[in-house]
Amino acid sequence: MSQAPPSSSFSARVTELVRRLGMPVVVLLAALLFDLVFVTDAALDDVGPRWVDFALLPGIFAMVGCAIWARRRAAVAAMVGAFALAFFTIFIRYLHTPTYSSVLANLSITEVVAGTEMVFYVARKVRPGAAFAAISSLVVGALIAVFGRYTYGDLSYSTILQALLFGSFLLVAAVVIGASGRTRTVQREQRLRRLRRINALAKGQWPLIGALALSLLFEFGFTYDSGTSGFPVLFCSIGAAVIAVLSPRRPADAILGVAGLILLSALVTPFLRLGYDYQFPGGIPPAQMVAGIGVVVNLVRAMPLIKAWPRIAVLTAAVGVGAILNAKRPGFRPLTDPQEIGGLVVAAGLVLGIAIAVGLFLRSRDSERTQVMKAAVTDAQITERMALARELHDVVAHHVTGIVVQAQAARMMGEKNPQLALEAMGRIEDAGTEALAAMRRLVRSMRGDAPAGASDLSEQATTDLDADLRKLADGANHGIKTTLMLDLPPDLPHEVGRSALRLVQESLTNVGKHAADATEALVHAEVTGRELHLSVRDNGREQAHRPAGGSGGYGLVGMRERVALLHGRITAGRGPDGGWRVEAWLPLEANGDDG
């Protein structure tokens, strides 16, 4: 019974889209979407002149184009990107367009992402001298944008320091990552393996990665508001996010690492003199909270809950310390109100329960997929073994039976007529050669030397059943005269023709082994309606002694299996005249249950 192909899930389609576009393009498009929403909202609000904020969009789209262009012409794209930053800075100043800050002051998130990707491509693809010139031009363009777009007085010292710190971090990270990926023949295979591991790690985790990216962007805004004193908490959040993404490899250690960073962040926050606006409602920064949920999901997914709960308890204790010390209240006073503590406990328990439930669901789904894959592999192995068994019985046994029959005839007739013995020896030689070739085909198939998706067994499908049946009858390896009555079209399906050939071959082999005193076998094959009708019968009688080579009892079993695979019918038994008759009806089109 055939099974309908499974429909692609939304997660699989998203993963395939990301794979086709590439992660840099996906990140760039996500940043562009964010800026479009933000700029549109700013342009239509009641603060300042309407529509004027749309003047930021030409520069944003120019940087997007340069970043995509950098995948092919990195150095030229970087130079053009630097010019675009400087030109649109003049354009923004001329129109008195208000700017907003993201990671770098006065630069949109799309411009920052595009500039970082251009630095990465330049460091990876361009020679050192040209790369230095291109990256320097981008740095100058970014500095012009940071200091040239500010229209409301002088820049503060904290703004300048933040821009330098964040800009230096992004610059160094992009250069290091890009330079480490420079193409070298000796390192190419290692780099491909690393990329495969990273792709396998990120595959299926796009919801967690997206939530971490949004929460980190949210924390960047808080850090700007708090000045440089918020950097320790931000670095703890970045570390927790990295550990959460890597947690599928070692989830038991990852949850302890995230718990440690949450506890460290909770303990240092009261000493950083952060403002009231920096405090978070639950006392835990958003990125750290998302990272904690992610590691709990991956831990429960990877190991039984009975083994996972001690580590979950450690993470819960760290979150509890953070909530008690840093929940949003004036003055950073520890939380002592039982009602507030109870509310936080309920909220934390709900979030933890959801994370555990998601982990259990994914664990169950993984187990089900594993069982399905094992069952599919087992079914494929059984099917292949059965096919090999049928082929071994039908082909090799056919030739070996012919050898035995011819050898018996040669022994009986050799003394009376040596010429007949010589002719029988020639037929024995031909049958042995064919048997050896069939054995080699079977061994090659079992060793897996056939091309992927094909095997010698499948390649043996007949293309002309009429000619193959006549060749089989002319070979006469079964030692019985065979009469053919064939009415076959030339366009029979290959699998139907192949199965029909094997059915006739096995039937004639049985005639030679089991039909005593048989002098003739009749093979009748014709197409009636939508079926191929086969009939093989002989005029012999049942043997009273054991046939040559013994009787394994697998001939009729193999024939029934072949017919069942094509959803046909077969009958075998003694006819009214005493001879043996095999009849089969094979559909020319698939008519099985497709459900």
Q: Determine the average pLDDT of the residues in 503-522.
A: 79
Among residues 426, 459, 492, which one ends one of the domains? 459
Given a cut of 70, is residue 157 above it in pLDDT?
Answer: no
Given a cut of 80, is residue 442 above it in pLDDT?
Answer: no
Answer whether residue 361 is part of any domain.
no
Rounded to an integer, what distance in angstroms lies between the CA atom of residue 91 and that of residue 79?
18
- Do 163 and 279 belong together in one domain? no
Given a cut of 70, is residue 227 above it in pLDDT?
Answer: no
Q: How confident is the model at residue 296 (pLDDT cuts 50, 70, 90)?
A: very high
Nearest one of 193, 181, 202 to 119, comparing CA atoms: 181
CATH code at position 542: 3.30.565.10
Answer whether residue 359 is part of any domain.
no
Answer whether residue 362 is part of any domain.
no
- Do 188 and 219 belong together in one domain? no
- Do 411 and 471 belong together in one domain? no
- Do 473 and 434 belong together in one domain? no
- Do 251 and 332 belong together in one domain? yes
312-315, long-range: CB < 8 A, 24+ apart: 312/255, 312/352, 312/356, 314/255, 314/256, 314/259, 315/255, 315/256, 315/258, 315/259, 315/262
Answer whether residue 344 is part of any domain.
no
Nearest one of 193, 198, 199, 311 to 251, comparing CA atoms: 311
- Rounded-to-10 torsion of CA 482, 485, 489, 495: -40
Nearest one of 46, 275, 53 to 149, comparing CA atoms: 53
- Do 448 and 533 belong together in one domain? no
Tell me the residue type at 429: E
- Tens digit of each residue's pLDDT (9 = 90 or more) over 233-258: 888 888 898 899 888 888 889 899 99
> What sign does the CA torsion over 341, 342, 345, 347 have?
negative
pLDDT of 567 reads: 84
- Rounded-to-10 torsion of CA 291, 293, 297, 303: 80
Given a cut of 70, is residue 413 above it in pLDDT?
Answer: no
Among residues 175, 203, 231, which one ends one of the domains? 203
Answer whether residue 36 is part of any domain.
yes
**Structural domain for 539, as ranges:** 461-595
Among residues 203, 231, 252, which one ends one of the domains? 203
pLDDT of 391 reads: 64
pLDDT of 109 reads: 86
Rounded to an integer, what distance in angstroms lies between the CA atom of residue 547 and that of residue 516?
9
- Cβ neighbours, 10 Å, residue 119: 28
What does pLDDT average to over the chain? Answer: 76
Query: In what side-by-side order are the strands of the sheet with 481-487?
Result: 481-487, 520-528, 531-538, 580-587, 569-574
> Which is more confident, 430 or 309?
309
- Do 84 and 198 belong together in one domain? yes
Listing DSSP states for 21-86 in one string gives H-HHHHHHHHHHHHHHHHHHHHHHSSSSSSSGGGGGHHHHHHHHHHHHHTTT-HHHHHHHHHHHHH
Is pTM beyond 0.85? Reply is: no
- Do 412 and 325 belong together in one domain? no
Rounded to an integer, what distance in angstroms lies between the CA atom of residue 162 and that of residue 220?
11
- Tens digit of each residue's pLDDT (9 = 90 or more) over 350-406: 888 898 898 888 888 888 887 887 777 677 667 666 766 666 665 666 566 667 766
Given a cut of 80, is residue 49 above it in pLDDT?
Answer: no
Overall number of domains in the chain: 4
Answer whether residue 294 is part of any domain.
yes
- Do 198 and 220 belong together in one domain? no
pLDDT of 299 reads: 92
Residue 339, class by beta-carbon neighbours within 10 Å (0-12 exposed, 13-18 middle, 19+ buried)? exposed
- Cβ neighbours, 10 Å, residue 366: 12
Residue 490 three-state SS: coil
**Are 444 and 518 contacting, i.e. CB atoms less than 8 angstroms apart?**
no
Answer whether residue 349 is part of any domain.
no
**Are 523 and 484 contacting, i.e. CB atoms less than 8 angstroms apart?**
yes
Q: How confident is the model at residue 473 (pLDDT cuts 50, 70, 90)?
A: confident
Given a cut of 50, is residue 458 above it in pLDDT?
Answer: no
- Do 466 and 588 belong together in one domain? yes
Nearest one of 396, 404, 392 to 513, comparing CA atoms: 404
Answer whether residue 323 is part of any domain.
yes
- Cβ neighbours, 10 Å, residue 501: 21
- Tens digit of each residue's pLDDT (9 = 90 or more) over 183-226: 553 355 565 666 666 666 666 677 888 888 888 877 776 776 66
Strands 531-538 and 520-528: antiparallel
Q: How confident is the model at residue 554 (pLDDT cuts 50, 70, 90)?
A: low
- Do 88 and 190 belong together in one domain? yes
- Tens digit of each residue's pLDDT (9 = 90 or more) over 96-119: 777 777 777 788 888 889 999 999
- Do 50 and 90 belong together in one domain? yes
